[in-house]
Chains A and B, each alone.
Chain A
Amino acid sequence: MSRITDLQKNLFGGTTSNARQFGMISTLVAIVVLFQIWTDGLTLTSGNLIAVVSQYSYILILAVGMLMVIVAGHIDLSVGSVAAFTGIVVAKAMQEHSLPWPLGILLGLLVGAAIGAWQGFWVAYIGVPAFIVTLAGMMLFRGANQYIGNADTVPVPEGFRKIGAGFLPEVGPDTGYNNLTLLLGLAACAGVVWREWKARQTRREMKADLAPLWVIGVRLAVMVAVIVFATLRFAGGRVGTSLPISGIILIVLVLAYSHYTRNTIGGRHIYAVGGNARAAELSGVKLKRVNFAVMMNMSILAALAGMIFVARSAASGPQDGLSWELDAIAAVFIGGAAVSGGLGTVSGSIVGGLVMALLNNGLQLQGVGSDMVQIIKGLVLLLAVAFDVYNKKQGRFSIIGTLTRPFRRDDPADTAAPPAAASDVDKTKVAG
């Protein structure tokens, strides 16, 4: 057991944070392999991978924002409606007032920011639970969508469609691949190697144990192989296709938000607020500001996701955004976030989202009906979390436990968690 964990630790990065990803990533790999075999190799074809990325990028973008909301101890049920509302506003503005599409995108982000400020205000400064505020928002903005759109479908201009359905242009010599995608892949390989080197330096400075070189070699080889494989697949699709632009937007967002949540003061504050709001406040964290920012950020990302979907659908319609919030929330929880907040990672949520996406896609390729797909997705969500809870209780290996931090609120040493501790702060203070 300990040897396996050692190996796991070595291969998946010396730090525990990387070791945590192990469980979920292996689930993802298992799903890919399963469907790859089951669909006779269709899952990993260029065409399918490109389709999956453009189909689910907007859900994954939502998952990034939702992760931060959930880590801070809130929830956002309004993302689908906000996305739909933004979509119709932008589509109408471009169609009826002939707003140029770049300004349309800007307008959409501003609409998202305004909605976010509205919801953040109620959550952070008035103290209405986010569940209620966003439930209200869910109805409010769905209604606003229908009011503005008259339940019509409004087409969007060609240029705008690029963010949802566009690809990188074909430039340079004919290599048989999309050259820009190849360049991106190359950059990714370089990035991975650079990061590994950087991490090793950091560990050396910390005087921590250094993994043997062969381990690093293997790890890099695996990662580079995956990147090369993915690059060739995305670059080798039909002429005119490549890594979708929505996928690039997603990757940029994931990198940026991973960095933000992991390495910056602002990111730490989100975890602190979700882990113990009162303790965070007494440590000088500006609670209201953090809550406001998290809610606002979510709405901006929802607006972006809405625009990407509209762009991909070439039109904004009244059905846009329906039950997106549920997909995003499911992704975050499958990815190991805690319902009570304070735990979870961006990369975990992305992996969780990919698990759902590939499951969806694989079942569809298999011709399984959407009714069954929903049943299976529901069960997967339930089992993923239940399996984890069960294992944690038994003190055994836990998939999500390895993914998230190794300790949680309800540690076995603390089972008699008192209801009083969860009650009002007031009481603890009266006992002075």
Chain B
Amino acid sequence: MRKLLLRSITAVGAAALLTLSTACSNEREGSSSSDSAGSKGFSKDSLIGVALPAKTSENWVLAGDLFTNGLKNAGFKADVQYAGASTTVADQQAQISSMVTKGAKVIVIGATDASQLTTQVKQAKDEGATVIAYDRLITNTPDIDYYIAFDNFKVGQLQGQALIDGMKAKKPKGPWTIELFSGSPDDNNSKVFFDGAMQVLKPLIDKGDIVVGSGQKDIKQTATQGWKAENAQQRMDSLLTSAYSGKKTLDGVLSPNDTLARAILTSVKGAGKPVPIVTGQDSEVESVKSIMAGVQYSTINKDTRKLVAETVNMIKSLQKGDKPTVNDTKSYNNGVKVVPAYLLPPVIVTKKNAAEAYANDPKLAPLTK
């Protein structure tokens, strides 16, 4: 028994010494250069981290799969992570830290809350990683290198125009009654979509051709917390009860994306009202079906494939040490600096052009026939 004791003690001692010796390998050296991003390139099989928000829309799920495959095909090691559904911000913070720890050379971030990642982005930058904001611009930090997204202002404009076109087709003469919905207030894009749409709608509202039934025209009133369908549905329910009791009809609803559009439609149907013109975005399967069935009016095709492919291209040029292509170096100020951006053009899709727009999409093309 004593022997066993002695032996275990020596083992413990040895282990302690071992840990001590490894502890002496200090990590301070690797931190000399932090502005290396993009200038020297990195090895071809490096780790690329992709941090995406919670799986609340199909789009993010698709993007994740595309990133995993795209990066693998390009020879990189990919680490694609989604935030948890109820603990989004904290999860994403932890995930980005982990990617930094694992030595990711590029970190692509689809932010859940665009202004709460300052610390992690700085950490990434300090460790020499390049940070690309994907789809959502990360604010209040100097440590972000690129921004890649669809032209979201354009998205808003297209939505606004589609709403007007749709209502005109149904009821040639105004005034038309509409309701406005916008996205989550913690997503930088929400405001951009909304402003784009309002640029088109405002003149008509001012003229009195378009009336906002509830009078709620401010982005704070129209916001949908967390992009959650249930929140949009709740708001629509109460709008219908408060502003559309009796025979009053609703001609159109500006919805920033498909998930919310469907929630809004569910609410309207539940109230037994005729289906209004509802816009959308993201080309989700259910919404494309709905458009083909003549329920939802429009969506936006922001081909996630293209966006992911462009992002991977960007990473490839970073790997080689080249400057990646950008096409906008003026418009995206995140509060600290102007972030060089690469913008892709969005496409509006209605029942008319659906077959053409989704011709290359294996999942959506069959739905349009």
Q: Are the CB atoms of B118 and A314 closer together than 8 Å?
A: yes
Some 5 contacts from A to B, beta carbons below 8 A apart, are A45-B27, A151-B223, A239-B28, A367-B80, A374-B84
**B 109-130 binary contact with A (CB < 8 Å = 1; else 0):** 0001111111100010011000
Question: Which of B86-94, B149-157, B206-214 sits within the interface?
Answer: B86-94
B31 at the interface (CB under 8 A from A): yes
A15 at the interface (CB under 8 A from B): no
A167 to chain B, nearest CB (A): 11
A222 at the interface (CB under 8 A from B): yes
**B 1-32 binary contact with A (CB < 8 Å = 1; else 0):** 10001000100110011011011101110110
Contacts A312-B119, A364-B81, A370-B81; is A232 near B23 (CB within 8 Å)? yes
Q: Are the CB atoms of B28 and A237 closer together than 8 Å?
A: yes
CA distance A367 to B95 in the complex (A): 9
Q: Are the CB atoms of A319 and B23 closer together than 8 Å?
A: no
Choose among A164, A176, A222, A229 the residue with the greatest number of B CB atoms under 10 Å from its CB: A229
Q: Are the CB atoms of A313 and B118 closer together than 8 Å?
A: yes
A207 at the interface (CB under 8 A from B): no
Neighbour of B19 across the interface among A225, A319, A360, CB < 8 A? A225
Choose among A146, A322, A374 the residue with the greatest number of B CB atoms under 10 Å from its CB: A322
Q: Are the CB atoms of B113 and A51 closer together than 8 Å?
A: no
Choose among A55, A152, A364 the residue with the greatest number of B CB atoms under 10 Å from its CB: A364
Neighbour of A364 across the interface among B19, B98, B226, CB < 8 A? B98
B89 to chain A, nearest CB (A): 5
Give A contacts to B, CB under 8 Å. Answer: 3, 7, 39, 42, 44-48, 51, 54-55, 146, 150-153, 155, 161, 164-165, 176-177, 218, 221-222, 225-226, 228-229, 232-233, 236-240, 309, 312-315, 317-320, 322-323, 360-361, 364-365, 367, 369-371, 373-374
Q: Are the CB atoms of B24 and A51 closer together than 8 Å?
A: no
Which of chain B's residues have a CB closer than 8 A to the CB of A239?
Answer: 28, 31
B230 at the interface (CB under 8 A from A): no
CA distance A156 to B220 in the complex (A): 21
B100 at the interface (CB under 8 A from A): yes
B36 at the interface (CB under 8 A from A): no
Q: Are the CB atoms of B93 and A236 closer together than 8 Å?
A: no
B27 to chain A, nearest CB (A): 5
Q: Are the CB atoms of B30 and A150 closer together than 8 Å?
A: no
B249 at the interface (CB under 8 A from A): no
Which of chain B's residues have a CB closer than 8 A to the CB of A51?
Answer: 94, 97-98, 100-101, 123
Contacts A228-B20, A323-B86; is A47 near B27 (CB within 8 Å)? yes
Q: Are the CB atoms of A164 and B119 closer together than 8 Å?
A: yes
Neighbour of B140 across the interface among A177, A240, A314, CB < 8 A? A314
B83 at the interface (CB under 8 A from A): yes
Q: Are the CB atoms of A369 and B101 closer together than 8 Å?
A: no
Q: Are the CB atoms of A225 and B119 closer together than 8 Å?
A: no
Summarize A's interface: helix, strand, loop or mixed. Answer: helix
Which of chain A's residues have a CB closer than 8 A to the CB of B237?
Answer: none
CA distance A228 to B86 in the complex (A): 38
CA distance A218 to B56 in the complex (A): 53
B186 at the interface (CB under 8 A from A): yes
Q: Are the CB atoms of A237 and B119 closer together than 8 Å?
A: no
B368 at the interface (CB under 8 A from A): no
Q: Are the CB atoms of A312 and B102 closer together than 8 Å?
A: no
Contacts A47-B127, A238-B28, A322-B87; is A313 near B101 (CB within 8 Å)? no
Choose among A7, A153, A374 the residue with the greatest number of B CB atoms under 10 Å from its CB: A153
CA distance A150 to B225 in the complex (A): 10
B324 at the interface (CB under 8 A from A): no
Add 19 more A-B contacts to A45-B101, A318-B225, A370-B81 (CB < 8 A): A46-B27, A51-B101, A151-B223, A152-B185, A155-B335, A176-B28, A229-B20, A236-B26, A238-B31, A313-B116, A318-B113, A322-B86, A323-B86, A361-B94, A367-B81, A369-B81, A371-B55, A371-B82, A373-B84
Which of chain B's residues have a CB closer than 8 A to the CB of A365?
Answer: 98, 101-102
Which of chain B's residues have a CB closer than 8 A to the CB of A238?
Answer: 27-28, 30-31, 126-127
Which of chain A's residues have a CB closer than 8 A to the CB of B12?
Answer: 218, 221-222
Q: Are the CB atoms of B79 and A367 closer together than 8 Å?
A: yes
CA distance A370 to B16 in the complex (A): 34
A326 to chain B, nearest CB (A): 9
Q: Are the CB atoms of A317 and B89 closer together than 8 Å?
A: yes
Which of chain B's residues have a CB closer than 8 A to the CB of A322?
Answer: 86-88, 90
Which of chain B's residues have a CB closer than 8 A to the CB of A46?
Answer: 26-27
Q: Which residue of B lies closest to A373 (CB)?
A: B84
A33 to chain B, nearest CB (A): 10
Q: Which residue of A lies closest to B112 (CB)?
A: A319
Q: Are the CB atoms of B113 and A319 closer together than 8 Å?
A: yes
Choose among A3, A228, A236, A314 the residue with the greatest number of B CB atoms under 10 Å from its CB: A314
Q: Are the CB atoms of B113 and A240 closer together than 8 Å?
A: no
CA distance A151 to B184 in the complex (A): 9
CA distance A182 to B82 in the complex (A): 37
Q: Are the CB atoms of B28 and A236 closer together than 8 Å?
A: yes
Neighbour of B89 across the interface among A155, A313, A364, A369, CB < 8 A? A313
CA distance A48 to B100 in the complex (A): 9
Q: Which residue of A lies closest to B54 (CB)?
A: A370
Which of chain B's residues have a CB closer than 8 A to the CB of A221?
Answer: 12-13, 16
**B 181-221 binary contact with A (CB < 8 Å = 1; else 0):** 00011100000000000000000000000000000000010
